[in-house]
């Protein structure tokens, strides 16, 4: 977990650097202690990601005749996990950067992070496992500058499978965290 | 070697279901008892005879001796045919009468006789509405069981569970034989973890109707319910203290994983008990009120631990295998049932706390959610049969197994109450 989040921050910084003027190498930020540097990193990532977010939004809108709100189109994303694991894989960094950018730009938007598991084992233990997956995404977004007050990490455990079936193909679709805007 | 056989009891009122009883361990240990068909009302109240017999047979501790061919049925021990029951091996005989009263109520009386001495061991009379015949039969079975076995029967107790049918979830309460089903809550969203209050009047449970797990407490007498815990994050795994004043529960509100807390039954006085950053869940309050068993991932795999109910140092209880979850105290506090996974199969096991000895009780692949009957003799659990969820019973010695129900939909999360 920790390692994944650290590398996420670094990727965010590099992305920021590529579009802005050169800055000193941000090695210190990976300590997670330098709040100012972390905020700067998040902002840099946000500046870049905002463009991607818009582009994504446009394409989604064009593909959806009856698209929902802007936030709904932006989110409704899934982060998938390995069996019994809750590390956010590197492949989701750009997704999370885009979401963090959007949330930073729209402080009134709140999201629910819904953790899920496959349906093997205890309902309550799976609920706790799903919570870890939701919390992993919450922490990753928090490191990208999204305040806790904008997020709620909850778990559906094994109760809301996306795919039915006792096979790996179904299970892997169910090991995920969905990022869902709160509709109020 | 296993001396197993299967007894099929088919209920006329129970069109969809057959109860399967599988008893191993030899016939000698089972007390033979004859139940004379309850006389006086033709076949109208045959349900009484059937339910008493099914209740007693389901325990695996009693064996039914058929004397239904004696017509008219035996009602008195002075009847010269009484010796037939003894000749067929019965050590005890239940004689019963049904007497419809002029006010529409039904009087049901029975006597439990020693088949050899022809002395009365117990005798009671009940008056009730015609709709309550199953309840009366369970009471009769409770008396017969206690007289013959020496332990109170649990046939009049209830089991709560969740049934999932398509996208519809229902929290239901049934008699201990799976019949007389009452729906407590219906929802389009999942319901898990029902937990009986110690007095049997309330259920705590987790409902996802607010798009997140929230704990409710619902009265079974008034149907009223209230939110017990709806903190930020997930709220789950309620377990009542034995005096009913508090509940242990699992919250994620402090952003440090799933942690165990205690809250007063009125929702006040929240106190955190565990302080890891990972998974602590499934607290189960000991009958003495002193300890909690719970499941934790702190050692790298889910294992069962015990800690004081006031918090403090936890002791690891399970060491075999890498998946031991869902602890459930036995009523005497000397052992607990749990789910262990071996080779990808989930099965019910019990551990004797003093010795640490474990025994695997079931051989299914998806056996989960164990819960003891109040007399400690039987454990109800969720199993899978023909691809869907059913409730099953296993005796705490593992010798008797019963598939209670085979209805449409998936039955899960059973909890045995009073």
pLDDT in tens, B358-384: 999 999 999 999 999 999 999 999 999
In tens, the pLDDT along B128-153 reads: 999 999 999 999 999 999 999 999 99
The values of phi and psi at residue B52, to 5°, are -60, -45
Average pLDDT of span B24-46 = 82
pLDDT band for A168, please (50, 70, 90 cuts).
Answer: confident
Decide: B2 and B20 in contact? Cβ < 8 Å.
Answer: no
Output the pLDDT for position B112: 98
Q: Does residue A167 have a pLDDT over 90?
A: no
B335 near A CB under 8 A? no
Looking at per-residue pLDDT, the higher value among B337 and B11 belongs to B337
Residue A183: pLDDT band (50, 70, 90) is confident
pLDDT of residue A26: 31
Of A78-87, A147-156, B246-255, the poorest mean pLDDT is in: A78-87
The pLDDT of residue A3 is 39
pTM (predicted TM-score): 0.85
Counting one residue from chain A and one from chain B, the pairs whose CB atoms sit within 8 A come to 98
As for the ipTM of the complex, it is 0.92
Give every CB contact of residue B18 below 8 A, 6+ residues apart in sequence: B8, B9, B10, B406
Q: What is the pLDDT of residue B17?
A: 45
User: Which of B193, B234, B302 is closest, CB to CB, to A131?
Assistant: B234
Q: Are strands B259-264 and B246-251 parallel, antiparallel or unpaired?
A: antiparallel
Give the model confidence (pLDDT) of A40-68 as tens digits: 444 444 444 333 333 333 333 332 333 44
List CB contacts of B80: < 8 A, sequence separation 6 or more.
Answer: none
d(CA B418, CA B200): 5
In this predicted structure, the answer to whether residue B8 has a pLDDT above a threshold of 90 is no
Chain B hits for A132, Cβ within 8 Å: 257-258, 278-279
pLDDT band for position A141 (50/70/90)? Answer: very high
* Average pLDDT of chain A to the nearest whole number: 70
Please give the mean pLDDT across all residues of chain B. Answer: 92
In chain B, residues with a C-beta closer than 8 Å to the C-beta of A128 are: 250, 257-258, 279-281, 297
Q: Which residues of A touch B (CB under 8 A)?
A: 112, 120-125, 127-129, 131-132, 135, 138, 148, 152-157, 159-160
Q: Is B38 helix (H, G, I), strand (E, B) or coil?
A: coil
Max Cα–Cα distance, chain A, nearest Å:
52
% of chain B residues with pLDDT over 70: 93
pLDDT of A10 strictly over 50: no
Give Cβ neighbours of residue A24 (< 8 Å, ≥ 6 apart). Answer: none
Under an 8 A CB cutoff, do B339 and A122 touch? yes
Give me the phi and psi of B339, to 5 degrees please: -105, 130
Model confidence at A6, pLDDT cuts 50, 70, 90, reads very low
Q: Which residues of B touch A87 (CB under 8 A)?
A: none
Best B205, B206, B234, B278 member to test A by mutation, with max A CBs in 10 Å, is: B234
In angstroms, the Cα distances linking A27 to A9, A21, A41, A90 are 10, 17, 11, 19
Q: What span, in angstroms and rounded, lies between the C-alpha atoms of B296 and B302?
A: 5
In angstroms, the Cα distances linking B78 to A178, B75, B90, B398 are: 74, 9, 16, 40
Residues across chain A: 184
Residues in chain A within 8 Å Cβ distance of B193? 123-124
**Residue A37 pLDDT exceeds 90:** no
Instruction: Supply the DSSP string of B336-387, one letter for each residue.
Output: EEEEEEETTEEEEEEEETTT--EEE----SB-EEEEE-TTSSEEEEEEEETT
Confidence of residue A76 (pLDDT cuts 50, 70, 90): low
Position B16 confidence tier, pLDDT thresholds 50, 70, 90: very low
B160/B200 Cα distance (integer angstroms): 11
- B252 backbone dihedrals φ, ψ, rounded to 5°: -120, 15
Per residue in B335-355, pLDDT (tens digit) is 999 999 999 999 999 999 999
> Confidence class of residue B43 from pLDDT cuts 50, 70 and 90?
confident
- B221-255 in b/e form (b: 16+ CB < 10 A) is eeeebeebbebbbbbbbbbbbbeeebbbbbbbbee
The answer for B 253-272 residues in CB contact with A (under 8 A) is 255, 257-258
Sheet architecture: strand order including A176-181:
A77-80, A176-181, A111-116, A151-157
Kindly indicate the confidence band of residue A89, based on its pLDDT and cuts at 50, 70 and 90: very high
Q: What's the rounded Cα separation, in Å, for the pair B104 and A2?
A: 73
Say yes or no to pLDDT of B82 above 60. yes
For B195-237, write each residue's pLDDT tens digit: 999 999 999 999 999 999 999 999 999 999 999 999 999 999 9
Cβ pair A123:B279 closer than 8 A = no
DSSP result, A8-45: HHHHHHHHHHHHS------GGGGGS--HHHHHHHHHHH
């Amino acid at each position: 977990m920790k390692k994944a989040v650290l590398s996420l921050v670094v990727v965010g910084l590099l992305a920021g650097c590529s579009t802005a003027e050169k800055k000193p190498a941000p090695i210190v930020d990976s300590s997670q202690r330098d709040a100012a540097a972390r905020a700067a990193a998040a902002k840099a990532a946000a500046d870049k990601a905002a463009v991607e977010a818009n582009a994504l939004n446009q394409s989604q809108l064009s593909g959806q005749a009856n698209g929902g709100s802007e936030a709904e189109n932006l989110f409704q994303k899934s982060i998938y996990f390995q069996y019994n694991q809750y590390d956010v894989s590197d492949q989701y960094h750009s997704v999370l950067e885009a979401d963090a950018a959007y949330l930073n730009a729209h402080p009134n938007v709140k999201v629910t992070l819904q953790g899920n598991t496959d349906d093997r084992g205890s309902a309550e233990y799976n609920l706790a496992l799903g919570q870890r997956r939701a919390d992993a995404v919450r922490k990753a977004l928090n490191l990208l500058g999204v305040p806790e007050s904008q997020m709620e990490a909850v778990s559906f455990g094994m109760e809301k499978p996306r795919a039915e079936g006792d096979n790996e193909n179904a299970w892997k679709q169910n090991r995920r965290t969905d990022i869902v805007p709160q509709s109020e | 070697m296993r001396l197993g056989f299967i007894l099929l009891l088919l209920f006329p009122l129970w069109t969809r279901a057959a109860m399967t009883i599988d008893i191993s361990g030899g016939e000698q240990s089972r007390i033979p008892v004859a139940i004379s068909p309850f006389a006086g009302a033709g076949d109208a109240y045959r349900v009484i005879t059937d339910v008493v017999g099914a209740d007693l047979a389901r325990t695996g501790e009693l064996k039914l001796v058929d004397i239904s061919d004696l017509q008219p049925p035996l009602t008195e021990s002075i009847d010269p045919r009484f010796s037939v029951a003894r000749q067929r091996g019965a050590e005890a005989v239940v004689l019963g009468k049904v007497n419809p009263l002029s006010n529409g109520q039904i009087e049901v009386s029975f006597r439990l006789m020693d088949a050899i001495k022809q002395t009365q061991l117990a005798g009671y009379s009940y008056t009730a509405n015609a709709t309550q015949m199953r309840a009366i039969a369970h009471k009769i079975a409770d008396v017969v069981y206690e007289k013959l076995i020496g332990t109170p029967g649990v046939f009049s107790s209830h089991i709560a569970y969740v049934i999932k049918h398509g996208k519809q979830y229902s929290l239901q309460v049934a008699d201990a034989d799976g019949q007389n089903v009452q729906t407590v809550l219906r929802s389009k969203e999942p319901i898990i973890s029902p937990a009986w209050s110690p007095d049997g009047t309330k259920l705590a449970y987790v409902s996802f109707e607010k798009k997140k797990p929230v704990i409710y407490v619902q009265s079974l007498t008034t149907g009223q319910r209230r939110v017990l815990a709806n903190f930020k994050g997930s709220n789950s795994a309620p377990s009542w203290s034995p005096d009913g004043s508090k509940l242990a529960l699992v919250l994620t509100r402090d952003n440090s994983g799933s942690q165990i807390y205690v809250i007063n039954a009125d929702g006040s006085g929240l106190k955190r008990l565990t302080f890891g950053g990972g998974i602590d869940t499934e607290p189960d309050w000991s009958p003495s009120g002193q300890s909690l068993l719970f499941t934790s991932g702190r050692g790298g795999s889910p294992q069962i631990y015990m800690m004081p109910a006031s918090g403090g140092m936890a002791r690891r209880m399970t060491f075999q295998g890498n998946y031991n979850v869902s602890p459930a105290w036995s009523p005497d506090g000397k052992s607990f049932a749990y789910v262990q996974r071996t080779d990808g199969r989930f099965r019910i096991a019990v551990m004797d706390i003093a010795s640490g000895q474990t025994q695997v009780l079931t051989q299914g692949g998806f056996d989960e959610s164990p819960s003891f009957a109040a007399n400690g003799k039987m454990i109800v659990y969720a199993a899978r049969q023909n691809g869907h969820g059913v409730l099953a019973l296993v005796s705490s010695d593992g010798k008797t197994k019963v598939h209670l129900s085979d209805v449409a939909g998936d039955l899960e999360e059973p909890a045995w109450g009073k």
